[in-house]
Amino acid sequence: MKRERLDSSSLASVGYDPAAHVLEVEFRNGGVYQYLDVPDGEYEEFITAPSKGRYLNTEIKPNHPSRKLSPPRRPR
């Protein structure tokens, strides 16, 4: 899934598949997660939210199943 870079302290990039209703989020620590069953309207609210990290934590994470695609990068 193609992701776009974000100006966020905790999120690096985000992508959305409207056909599958899947939101894909890359965190600044390198972890990538997909959130399932995210309707188009909720994605629009997320992408326009003043704080995408806060919206993700309060609206997306508690209400949508997720799957981890990659582990976070380890500091060297």
Model confidence at 1, pLDDT cuts 50, 70, 90, reads confident
Q: Write the Ramachandran bin of 57: left for phi over 0, alpha for psi from -120 to 50, otherwise beta.
A: alpha
Read off the pLDDT of each residue in 62-71 and give the average, rounded to a whole number.
91
Two structure tokens written together for 47:
């992408």
Q: What is the pLDDT of residue 75?
A: 60
pTM of the predicted model as reported, rounded to 2 decimal places: 0.89
Dihedral of the CA atoms 5, 68, 35, 37 (nearest 10)?
140
The amino acid at 18: P
Q: Tens of pLDDT along 4-13? A: 999 899 999 9
